[in-house]
Structure 1
Amino acid sequence: CEAFSTYPRTYDLLHAWTVFTDLEKRGCSAEDLLLEMDRILRPTGFIIVRDKAPIIVFIKKYLNALHWEAVTVVDGESSPESEENEMILIIRKKLWLPEGGSQDST
């Protein structure tokens, strides 16, 4: 599991469809992936995660520590490409200022 080569870019939107489930097969750390996503995502950027319900619950435990907020969580529609029990989590990265905590830029 290596860092993504993104220099000199950052992103406004990341989309992870079963990426965390696939990590289990590779033996990589989900926590490391969350940190890497935080590194490459711009403040006020969004992450769309579509994965199994237990994975969504796992990710939600780290939202406060990463200064992210859950915008919404919905059940995924059944389709030939999706697995059972999938959910969609939409996350927004807050603009975090060390002296004042977090701030919404809207």
Structure 2
Amino acid sequence: MNVVLVDTPDTLPIIYERGLFGMYYNWCKSFSTYPRSYNFLHADYLSSRLKKMCNFQVVVAETYQILRPESILIVRDTAEVINELESMVKSMNWEVCMTYTKENEDFLGVRKSTWWPTEIVTLEYVV
């Protein structure tokens, strides 16, 4: 599935010509993928565009929902956005597989973990 941000140049005709599926979407709203989830997500300067439009943490949480455990996320963006995204995915216990810098753009490759809490914390309510 190829998702084109609504306020970017129209590349869907090229996607359709190649026999692929695609759609326009505003990532600031929840992205309904039910009943599907994905093994791979590639974002090409999507994060820096969305950062200006909506809450970036919500977009990262949406990415978490879309990807299956052990899936791959590859992001190409500015160094500032990559550094922020890298700290967010590390806090979610994702494995950073690759970081690469070339001139003004950075690449980040991460794998979603199958992390699960090892302790169960019980809360006692005081009445």
Q: TM-score normalized by structure 2?
A: 0.67
Query: Which ranges of structure 1 fall in alignment gaps of 5 or more residues?
Result: 77-83, 101-106
Q: Report Cα offsets for 1:64-91 as digits up to 9, x if no partner.
A: 3212111010124xxxxxxx61111000
Question: Which of 110, 113, 123 is the matching residue for 1:91?
Answer: 110
Percent identity between matched residues is 38
Q: Report Cα offsets for 1:39-85 as digits up to 9, x if no partner.
A: 11000000000000010000111123212111010124xxxxxxx61
1:103 is aligned to none
Query: Which ranges of structure 2 fall in alignment gaps of 5 or more residues?
Result: 1-27, 120-127
Tell me the number of residue pairs that the alignment of Structure 1 and Structure 2 aligns: 92
* Pair 1:32-2:58 in alignment: yes
Amino acid at match of 1:16: A
Amino acid at match of 1:3: S
Question: Which of 47, 66, 70 is the matching residue for 1:20?
Answer: 47
Report the structure, 1 or 2, having the larger helix content. Answer: 2
Shift of 1:97: 2.6
Q: TM-score normalized by structure 1?
A: 0.79
Higher relative contact order (CA 8 A, sep 6+): 1
Please tell me whether Structure 1 or Structure 2 has the larger radius of gyration of its CA atoms: 2
**Separation in 1, partners of 2:78, 2:65:** 24
CA contact (8 A) 2:90 2:96 kept: no
Amino acid at match of 1:31: Q
Question: Which of 68, 85, 90 is the matching residue for 1:64?
Answer: 90
Shift of 1:98: 2.8
Q: Which runs of 4+ in 1 moved over 4 A?
A: none
**Separation in 2, partners of 1:4, 1:49:** 18
